[in-house]
Amino acid sequence: MVDSDAPSMLNAQEYEYMEIQTDNANVNNDSQFRFELKDTNTFTNLSRGYVSCRFRIENDAGGAYTGNENIALNGSIGTLFSRCVLRINNLVVESTDNNHLVSSLKPIVLYSKDYSSSSSTNELFYLHSGNALDTTITPYSKAGATVADLVVSDNADYNEGHAKSKARTNNSAVVTALLPLENLVDFASVDKIITNCNIALELTRSPESYHLFRAGGVANGRVNVQRLSLWLPRIIPQPELELELKGAFSGGLVSNFRFNKWNGYLPTPLNNGTHSIRVATMSERVLGVFVMAKSNAITQEVNSNKTEDVLTDLFVRVNGKQYPSRAHNSLKVNDEGKSRAYLNLLDYQSRGSDTSSGIQLSREGWNGQSVYYVNTEAMTANDSKSPATIEVNCTTDNPCQLHVVLVSEKVVSVNYTGNTPQVSVF
């Protein structure tokens, strides 16, 4: 039978978390990490899983910062990883390239302000802010030569996100951050039980220039990972429910995992002028395209969250068809087209009409972190799986590098007919 509503955590009476440590002998020195759930008898649910990372920020020589140096993590711990691969029964069901670009984008467009100020702080995500998106950690400015002339005012350059992140990791403090698994692999966004499967997660470190953000004059740093673990729930159902679950799975249940797949693409250096960039050719249906223009020279002194105000026109072509039909133009900070582009960003997941949450990035804050979104959902469902070519067309008035993240539709099917589940990717 094909399921329309496979068992989820709601079916579980009780569960406990199991820690799966990496296969690595020394996580600090390695660039790749692997976790494997070998107990195929376990009922688990990847949507409730998370990665635990214990680390400290230290200088390149491996020494501690001890003088209150202005350096901090530049985003959540998700940006530490550039490639994330999920295997089920040795089949690659999902592979995310340039995950550090995806992990810096997702919180901006998916997290509400309430979530960002609570849950996301457990993964060390703090939204960067301030006119300059620099390393300013002083919230107030003072003026006046004497006490009588003293004037205290808000510091418009104060970067609250950087200041809060620095406070957590200051002077090479050892901290532990927990990152929901679905922030690394989109398969885990589906709330369904899976069993009788070997599950392996592989992570690759990203470039160090995306890990940290520091003030000028501070020595280059690195993230010293001391412990890295994958935590998954082991579901312990009541006896009658366990029989029901085993009966469903052994009865030939086909469990379909349908999710939105996010994938980042290597930054493309651009000079000023008009450009047509062929981003990818894929068989999956493309739902949307995120575009950001950033500095050509991202280092630990250049905030990789900050975008450059260099785009003047933008549209996307999928197999030659243009989205939006009326291209984005007049995209400079104070131009009318900028507000239209912000509205399009809010259209992702209908956040613009969500009066209960919305996104955490205000129109003013968006000027410094301009994420452009082009909706391509009108693209005909790609049932034949014929390749679709995605092109980004834009005009820039200064050099930059273009960051592109695609969101596509993906389905993974787990067929429990027989002794070993058969896994298929669509």
**Cβ(391)–Cβ(279) below 8 Å:** yes
Task: Supply 153's token pair.
Answer: 């005012």
Across the chain, what does the average pLDDT equal?
90
Domain tally, the chain: 1
Angle at 413 between CA 412 and CA 417, to 5 degrees: 160
Structure confidence by residue, pLDDT tens digits, 50-96: 999 999 999 999 999 999 999 999 999 999 999 999 999 999 999 99
Q: Which DSSP state fits 8?
A: -
> How does pLDDT run across 352-362, given as a tens digit for each residue?
566 677 788 88
Q: Has residue 394 got a pLDDT over 80?
A: yes
The answer to whether residue 306 is domain-embedded is yes
Strands (E), 186-249: 199-205, 212-214, 221-235
b/e burial code for range 12-42 (CB count within 10 A of at least 16 → b): beebeebebebebeebeebeebebbbeeeeb
Hey, what long-range contacts does 132-135 have (CB within 8 A, 24 or more apart)? 132/157, 132/159, 132/368, 133/159, 133/303, 133/305, 133/306, 133/368, 133/369, 134/159, 134/303, 135/70, 135/159, 135/162, 135/213, 135/214, 135/215
Asked if the structure places residue 2 within a domain, the reply is no
Q: How do beta strands 311-318 and 388-396 pair? A: antiparallel
> Would you say residue 91 lies in a domain?
yes
The pLDDT assigned to 383 comes to: 56
Domain range enclosing 186: 9-425
How buried is 121 (Cβ within 10 angstroms: 0-12 exposed, 13-18 middle, 19+ buried)? Answer: middle
Lowest mean pLDDT among 150-154, 203-207, 409-413: 150-154
Q: Does residue 326 surpass a pLDDT of 80?
A: yes
Is residue 295, in this structure, part of any structural domain at all? yes
Q: Is residue 4 part of a domain?
A: no
Query: ∠ CA 74-260-356 to the nearest 5 degrees?
Result: 70
Range of lowest pLDDT (103-112, 292-301, 312-321, 353-362): 353-362
H/E run at residue 114: helix 113-116
Token output for 420? 């070993």
In a domain, 416, yes or no: yes
Residue 176, in any domain of the structure: yes
> Residues near 305 by Cβ (< 8 Å), separated by ≥ 6?
74, 75, 104, 128, 133, 369
